[in-house]
Structure 1
Amino acid sequence: MKLLWFSLVASFFLSGTAVAAPEKAALDVRAASYILGDIDTGMVMYDKDSDKRVPPASLTKIMTLFLIYDALARGDLTLEQALPVSERAWRTPGSKTFVRVGDQIRVNDLIQGIAVQSGNDACVVVAEHLAGSEEGFSDLMNAKAKELGMVNSHFVNPTGLPHPEHYTSARDLFLLASALMNRFPQYSHFVKEKQYTFSGIQQYNRNRLLWRDPSITGLKTGHTREAGFCMVATSDKDGQRLAAVIMGAPSSKIREEEALRLLRQGNRLFETVRIYEPGAVIRSLRVWKGAEEFVDATVDQPAVVTIPRKQRSSLEIGMVYEEPMVGPLVKGQKIGAVIVKLKDQELLNRPVVAAKDIPSGGFVGNFVDTIRLYFGW
């Protein structure tokens, strides 16, 4: 194994997932639990009781939207497809899109009804179409939660109506919100819409931060007596995308104030540093006993870290790889790793792969390389 360290300036490109984070500072937030993190790196900047299981209220609908977007991406739904409204959907209590029994509603309208109006009836319409029933849809929700690593979540309905076995955590909602924003950017406009009119009724987005700060990109509010006032707020500013989760705040005003304070604090004190884009060549490496003498070592995933501001010059970027490297090699084969450190703390470890196939060399070339390796030439 050989380890090379690069200068930061020479290595600076552009965007991965950090495996560690600088030490977090304490922050007093008026909420039962909360979390602030970087959507692109997964780094948590501040949190309190973020693994505590709590009722999510309408933040449940983030998972409902995730499954709708997932179905759209697979081709199981289209935005123009019309879905029927059952009597059960029409009778669902709570906030409404005001769909009517027997109507055929476009998926696009149902998404707007969920994202803007927080319509419980619209959630049930989609759930019944995708899974046959709310119960079947809940199974899909729990399977997706497991896939996303949401270890403190369990869903029994697509709406967030109270139930003893319906719960999540601030950290799980951060994971869900990050996955939603990263996987489905083509649908991100829905949660930024400030108002929506359906059946002649105009309703406004309950996320009032959309009016207060131009960097706000979503995402969802929620409230029940059991859950208190909850919110997932996301922002995009100075190339940094953050998500703040507020659970159990005492009022809608306080949840908004605390979410915005967290987002601004994170943006002021931390920065997202984009190191390598997918496909970036890290270095050309010598290949022995190959049809070609060199192979480009590249990353097939973005590499990005979150660090405290004014510490960029302390970042170290290195690559560890096999030496000697012997052919043949296959395109995409792991041949090393990029390591990013901040003051001796490893922030990221990203695989490095061969950019192309390197077939085995011919008899003569292989023989010569064997001699060179043996004598260290």
Structure 2
Amino acid sequence: MPHPSRPRRLSLALLGIFAGALLGLTSAGRAHAEAQLLIDAATGKVLHAENATYPWYPASVTKLMTLYTTLRLIQDKKITFDTVMTVTKNAAAQQPTKMGFKVGTQVTVDNAIKMLMVKSANDIAVTIAENLGGSIEGFADMMNANARRLGMTQSNFVNPNGLPAENHVSSARDLAILARALINEFPQDDAYLHVHAIRYGNRIMRNYNSLLDRYPGADGMKTGFICASGYNVVASATRNGRRLIAIVLGSYSGATRAQKAAQLLESGFDNSGLNWLTPSLGTVDKLAPIDAPPPNLRDEMCGGHRRKPPSEDNQEEEVTSEAATSTAPGGGPAFMLSSLKPGAGKFVLGPPVETVPPVTVFTGPANHPDPVVAAAPHAKKKKKVAAKPAGETAPAAATSPKPKTTAKKQTKPKVSSATQ
């Protein structure tokens, strides 16, 4: 006969685990300051969730909402992919990741989206906001209206690029809802989510999402980093017609976030760690939000202990290894809503493989691109510095891209199906 006090003891233990996890997010131990979520893109079913409803600074993952808001404007026929936007003084001043275009440079919506998603260009994000929303504040209002319509109850956007702002927050839950909306509402524009690299003149810029070149089936979406948030990623992959979305927030480096996202995806595809004792977690929109301030990881991510300066492309590995599940203060397991265990330490990323050529981007109207002027061969002999004039932001290409004259032709970047 079971002991009458056991159910009560079990309930108290579970409450202790839950409280410990919440405390862990604000403790000094970096192992607790991370959120993870894995869902099925088609159904929204939650396969794994850890701190998924805790508020978080999204950093450049914000640009997924910038993309969504832009695609909605196209869908509503307010703009087209060929709509020309102008780089303002405010946009050109954005730091640190940028295309570096001069004030007055024109760029089409199509090219801007490619630069936004691959280079994570903050100047392009502000160009989109100021041209399509009238101002950063006006575009942020549009972003927030879309967030409310989608049920992103934990999100508030202040800018289009994710640069630090106190009230600029989201959560793994909300980002998963947004990722599903991009996939399901704009299937014709899905290729924008997985452009491996872009070419502007002789300058090639690779996507910060290293899973695209290293994880079989990877097909999206966006990375982000600021000191307060840590290294974030929303990643998607498809196998045998099934698409999964993995979200990792607060990782130690770009390499670590990619590895953890790959582990989540791998577990979802091969069903490893399925536990029939764990009840179903339902769909992502049913996860209960937590009312708390987002953790600030500035000291952990940007302190003097780093071997390399923190940046979006930092591939530094963690100094200490972690178990697949973190621990709460006192040594107990941290609260983890989970019916699926990530592969504990299983390295599932392969070496980088360049399978898709860079997509050419350009400035100017679609039917009359700006020429990218190359230095003449004889000029190099007369004066070596002539090959790279002072202030030039992008090396030159020998030829301009082939003009595209219709919006229909601009609906997708040229991306091979090999990325699927």
Structure 1 stretches of 4+ with a deviation exceeding 3 A read none
Q: 2:264 aligns with which of 262, 265, 288?
A: 262
Q: Once the 2 structures are TM-superposed, how far is the Cα of residue 198 of structure 1 from its aligned partner?
A: 2.6
1:265 partner letter: S
**1:273-305 deviation digits (Å, cap 9, x = unpaired):** xxxxxxxxxxxxxxxxxxxxxxxxxxxxxxxxx
Q: What is the match of residue 136 of structure 2?
A: 134
Query: Matched residues in 1 for 2:36 and 2:248: separation?
Result: 5
Q: What is the match of residue 153 of structure 1?
A: 155
1:232 partner letter: V
Q: What is the match of residue 315 of structure 1?
A: none
Q: Once the 2 structures are TM-superposed, how far is the Cα of residue 269 of structure 1 from its aligned partner?
A: 1.2
- 5 Å-filtered alignment, 1:230-269, equals 230-269=232-271
Q: 1:195 aligns with which of 194, 197, 205?
A: 197
Q: Once the 2 structures are TM-superposed, how far is the Cα of residue 267 of structure 1 from its aligned partner?
A: 1.1
Query: Matched residues in 2 for 1:105 and 1:88: separation?
Result: 16
Q: 2:186 aligns with which of 184, 188, 194?
A: 184
Q: What is the match of residue 55 of structure 1?
A: 57
Query: Matched residues in 2 for 1:248 and 1:142: separation?
Result: 23
Q: Is the 8 A contact 1:98 1:198 kept in 2?
A: no
Q: What is the match of residue 346 of structure 1?
A: none
Q: Would the alpha carbon gap of residues 131 and 151 (structure 1) be closer, same or farther in structure 2, given more than 3 Å must change?
A: same
Q: Is the 8 A contact 1:37 1:44 kept in 2?
A: yes
Q: 1:66 aligns with which of 68, 81, 89?
A: 68
Query: Matched residues in 2 for 1:187 and 1:139: separation?
Result: 23
Q: Once the 2 structures are TM-superposed, how far is the Cα of residue 135 of structure 1 from its aligned partner?
A: 0.7
Relative contact order higher in (CA < 8 Å, ≥ 6 apart): 2
Query: Matched residues in 2 for 1:207 and 1:71: separation?
Result: 26
Q: What is the match of residue 302 of structure 1?
A: none
Q: Is the 8 A contact 1:30 1:258 kept in 2?
A: no
Query: Matched residues in 1 for 2:215 and 2:259: separation?
Result: 12
SS of the residue 1:75 aligns to = coil
Query: Matched residues in 2 for 1:30 and 1:109: separation?
Result: 39
- Higher strand proportion, which one? 1
Query: Matched residues in 2 for 1:88 and 1:172: separation?
Result: 29
Q: What is the match of residue 204 of structure 1?
A: 206
**1:285-327 deviation digits (Å, cap 9, x = unpaired):** xxxxxxxxxxxxxxxxxxxxxx99xxxxxxxxxxxxxxxxxxx
**1:233-259 deviation digits (Å, cap 9, x = unpaired):** 001111211100100011111100110
Q: Once the 2 structures are TM-superposed, how far is the Cα of residue 264 of structure 1 from its aligned partner?
A: 1.0
Query: Matched residues in 1 for 2:179 and 2:102: separation?
Result: 30
**1:71-96 deviation digits (Å, cap 9, x = unpaired):** 11112221222111111111111211
- Confirm whether residue 175 of structure 1 aligns to residue 174 of structure 2: no
Q: Would the alpha carbon gap of residues 67 and 43 (structure 1) be closer, same or farther in structure 2, given more than 3 Å must change?
A: same
Query: TM-score, with normalisation over the residues of structure 1?
Result: 0.63
Query: Matched residues in 2 for 1:110 and 1:187: separation?
Result: 14
Q: Would the alpha carbon gap of residues 136 and 199 (structure 1) be closer, same or farther in structure 2, given more than 3 Å must change?
A: farther
**1:51-104 deviation digits (Å, cap 9, x = unpaired):** 111100000000000011111111222122211111111111121122221111
Query: TM-score, with normalisation over the residues of structure 2?
Result: 0.56
Q: Is the 8 A contact 1:231 1:245 kept in 2?
A: yes
Q: What is the match of residue 221 of structure 1?
A: 223
Q: What is the match of residue 165 of structure 2?
A: 163
Q: What is the match of residue 101 of structure 2?
A: 99
Aligned pair count?
245
Give 1 or 2 for the bigger CA radius of gyration.
1
Q: Once the 2 structures are TM-superposed, how far is the Cα of residue 31 of structure 1 from its aligned partner?
A: 6.1
Q: What is the match of residue 311 of structure 1?
A: none
Query: Matched residues in 2 for 1:31 and 1:164: separation?
Result: 18
Query: Matched residues in 2 for 1:60 and 1:133: separation?
Result: 17
Q: What is the match of residue 46 of structure 1?
A: 48
Unpaired stretches in structure 1, ≥5 consecutive residues: 1-28, 272-306, 309-377
1:187 partner letter: D
Query: Matched residues in 1 for 2:33 and 2:179: separation?
Result: 19
* Greater mean deviation of Cα atoms: 150-159 or 90-99: 90-99
**1:132-166 deviation digits (Å, cap 9, x = unpaired):** 10011111111111111111111100000011100
Unpaired stretches in structure 2, ≥5 consecutive residues: 1-30, 275-338, 341-420
Q: Cα RMSD between the aligned structures?
A: 1.8
